[in-house]
Amino acid sequence: MNRREPSRDGRLSRSEQTRAALLAAAADAFADRGYGGTALSTIYKAAGANAAAISYHFGGKRALYDAVLAESGRRFSALFDALVAEGLQDIDRFMALTWRRIREESTHARIVLRAVLDDGRPPEGVIWMRRERLPAAAAPLAPLLGLEPAALRMLAISMNLLCSRFAVVDEAELCALTDTEHVEDADRVVVEHLTALVRGFVGLSAG
């Protein structure tokens, strides 16, 4: 991959700025249309680049798509770390943070869902996180809720999928789904709903 390092004062070079713009434009395009439905011209025009830029920086469409998937994996890995660091002692606070962070990553949540539709599987980084890191995190946290680690793992996966489905809709649809007029009220209803589901599951399991 052809790229230049940032300048000594920390600013990105013009080449790096173009590469970052292409990644951002590609993320939006792939989230909206998927891999097959996205034309390269849509990406480089949105990035303010020329027709050769994608080949120069990434080597082609598939390599650019793979770079976007890798970025999605990194973002959800960072989100996972933040949630594990938060802990589960305060479920209301935890679910509010979960919803806010996943909503912030709605573009990449849509990319992950598109990848499942296009390729039959999420990005490798997401698979690795669920297969390797989630069980390791569940083991010490599960006793705090009176759960077996396997049960906490399945609860976390289920809530992640549910949060992601809510997060990928636009504000108008979110308000329609929650029967509210303002997105702030919709956010509150979603968090209350998710929290009630977790509390119900924990209560049934612990009892």
Q: How far apart are CA 181 and CA 70, in angstroms?
A: 36
pTM (2 decimals)?
0.82
Please give the distance of CA 50 from its chain centroid, rounded to a whole number.
29
Q: Are the CB atoms for 28 and 46 separated by under 8 Å?
A: yes
Burial class (CB in 10 A: 0-12, 13-18, 19+), 205: middle
Q: State the pLDDT at residue 146.
A: 84
Q: Give per-residue pLDDT as tens, 48-91.
A: 999 999 999 999 999 999 999 999 999 999 999 998 888 777 88
CB 147 within 8 A of CB 205: yes
